[in-house]
Chain A
Amino acid sequence: MVAEHERSLEVVDIPINMGPQHPSTHGVFRMVLMVDGEKCVDVIPHIGYMHRGGEKLMEAMDFRQGIGYCDRTEYLAQFSAELAYVIAVERLMDVQVPERAEYIRVILTELNRLSSHFMFMGAFGIDAGVFGTSFTYAFPQREYLQELFEEVSGDRLMYAYFRVGGLAWEVTDNFVQRCHEVLKHTQQGIRDIDELLTKNEIFIGRCQGIGAFTADQAIAYGLSGPMLRASGVPWDLRKDEPYSVYDRFNFEIPVGNYGDVYDRYLVRLEEMRQSVSIVEQALEQLPAEGPIVAEKLPRRLRTPPGEVYAKVEAPRGEWGVYLVSKGGDKPYRLKMRSPSFCNLSALREMCLDQFLADTVMILGSMDIVLCCVDR
């Protein structure tokens, strides 16, 4: 006869709702986690809370108005989003961008990558339980960068500074000097973060070996950017399909060995050092003067009919713009292939059979921007 306490208990999987209002979901994101004890057996992500119909709105905006919407979509890497859009229009219109404008674009985009990765370092530290210290180191650095962007573009977040064919206006007179000043802070900031997190035993314990993706898995799920490179795929659009003037700089593509959360952190940290190096080279090569907008551009931009898929290496991965035009001054169809969206689609696969607490780290390591997921 079986004793009362030995009778087998019914085992059920418990659904746990995380989000949409949750500090670790980095925005308005909800996932339903089915847990068996501490292990996740299923993850159902729910997105779309931030969906604003951006692709539809951009069909009603002409090519210059659309630039502003790019900022609002990818609000941590605005210059990358703008760059992809203007590259798409320039390619259809066959516009040659002046060299000085190309260099300033590269400088700002790389500085933007730094500010975006600083944001990641701060937020990721909090996910790992650093309890705000990472934010206090990362955010002043981001602030220096944003001050520079504000001086150049006139706005702290929504820059709308790139134009089809070049830039909106000339940069400030002391731009080069200010960039050097900011880079000095940035390098110190990278060292601070490195010393704070990289060798921190608790941080390593929270990061290593979780959420690992092999190279084949990463490619099949369409991951890009640091997520893909952490899995050991040395694919970076700046090297492999160089746009703008990226083929003139020397820089390394950091790749990871294990594809886990810790590798994604390390790849981003090294990318920041490489970005500093790119900005320094670009500042050196920057032509002292010259036009910043292509000549003979009509006031009303019109493209010939056609289609183009333009892509840039944004901080989160490949930011693609599939632009279909029927002629005229507005896109007929504009699809934004956002890296956050594609990376997030692998969340379920990554979280399966992981501990509940680690799902927060896995989600944090993706560095998603929910506006860019939902568009």
Chain B
Amino acid sequence: MTLPDGQEPEAKPDDAGQPAASAPEPGAEQPSEAAPSTPEAGTDAPKAEKPPAAAKAERPARPAKEAEPKTAPRVAPPAESVNEAVAAASGVTLSAVYIVPDWKGESVAVEVSRDDVPAVLAACRDDERLDMKYLRCLSGVDWQEEGLEVVYHLYSLSKKRGITVKTRVSYDDANVPSVASVYPAAEWHEREARDMFGINFTGHPDPRPLLLPDDMIDHFPLRKDNPLQEIEEWQGDSLREGAGEEEE
């Protein structure tokens, strides 16, 4: 068997995330192949002096890593991309325009204010240059301090291109105009987003809970303030931030 990184299994410590404790000679140096290319500096030092048995209890604090960016850098799309046609057709100011990766290549994402959503989507559907008659997907995203986001993926079957439209609302005022009248496909997606994130789609024709029980209207499972506590208990350390990294 070949492991994904091309090394033989014998050259590695156990897969299960146990550190040097399970090696035949406790406290011995790791085989030199086992820690070849750890990108973060300083991970080798605490590992060598780790006591074998109580390693997990008094694990030395992980050296501060370089702060990783939490959001992707935003790159503006090239001129004459689809966003210009959207802005022209809808007459709406797009508050942000950037490219997002698509399968092979990039597509354009635009952010608009929530009141403009029906106008932008109706323009995308009806404008001949855009002709985006197909709503692929509608997702809610919980960005915690930055509010709740609704993401619309639109696609044009004739032009073979798509666009991502996003809008953000705050927790206190989580109202977004429904687009079920523009895209009937949005009806169930919006009900699902209401169930899971508590985003209220104003003007929705049938705002009953869809996936959750009918009386579960004040609890929103996919919001980030509902941690998966039990799972964390079951799996313990394997879910800890940065677990298993020394095996790289």
Contacts and interface: CB of A to CB of B under 8 A. Distances in A.
A220 B133 contact: yes
Contacts of A310: 103
B1 interface: yes
Interface in B68-106: 68-72, 100-104
B234 to A, nearest CB: 10
A152 B226 CA distance: 38
Contacts of A59: 228
Contacts, number: 140
Contact of A222 (B70, B102, B135): B135
A169 B245 CA distance: 22
B172 to A, nearest CB: 21
A228 B4 CA distance: 39
Contacts of B187: 345
A297 interface: yes
A322 B109 CA distance: 13
B188 interface: yes
Contacts of A219: 133-134, 157
A199 interface: no
Given A56-B222, A222-B183, A51 B211 contact: yes
A305 B228 contact: no
Contacts of B2: 293
A318 B141 contact: no
Contacts of A342: 185, 188
Given A51-B212, A91-B101, A309-B102, A335 B248 contact: no
Contact of B183 (A166, A220, A341, A344): A220
B184 A308 contact: no
Contact of B248 (A92, A298, A309, A346): A298
A300 interface: yes
- Binding site secondary structure of chain A: mixed
B210 A318 contact: no
Given A55-B222, A309-B137, A341-B188, A60 B153 contact: no
Contacts of B153: 309, 320, 322
Interface in B176-216: 183-185, 187-188, 196, 209-213
A95 to B, nearest CB: 11
A345 B139 CA distance: 16
Contacts of B140: 335
Contacts of B101: 91-92, 306-308
Interface string B123-151: 00000000001111101111000000001
B116 interface: no
Contact of A53 (B184, B185, B221, B232): B221
Contacts of A60: 228, 231-232, 239
B118 interface: no
B102 A308 contact: yes
A169 B153 CA distance: 35
Interface residues of B, number: 52
Contacts of B164: 309
B62 interface: no
Interface stretch (A108-116, A136-144, A174-182, A233-241): A233-241
Contacts of B157: 219, 233, 235
A48 B210 CA distance: 7
Interface in A134-169: 163, 165-166, 169
Nearest to B247: A299
A305 B71 contact: yes
A308 B104 CA distance: 11
B139 to A, nearest CB: 4
A216 B6 CA distance: 51
Contacts of B196: 55
A91 B185 contact: no
Given A222-B185, A305-B71, A311-B103, A300 B137 contact: no
Interface string A331-375: 011010100011011100100000000000000000000000011
Interface in A184-237: 216, 219-222, 233, 235
Given A219-B133, A333-B139, 4 more contacts: A87-B103, A166-B4, A298-B248, A333-B141
14 contacts: A56-B226, A91-B103, A165-B4, A221-B185, A222-B134, A222-B135, A222-B136, A241-B103, A298-B248, A306-B101, A308-B100, A309-B136, A332-B141, A342-B188
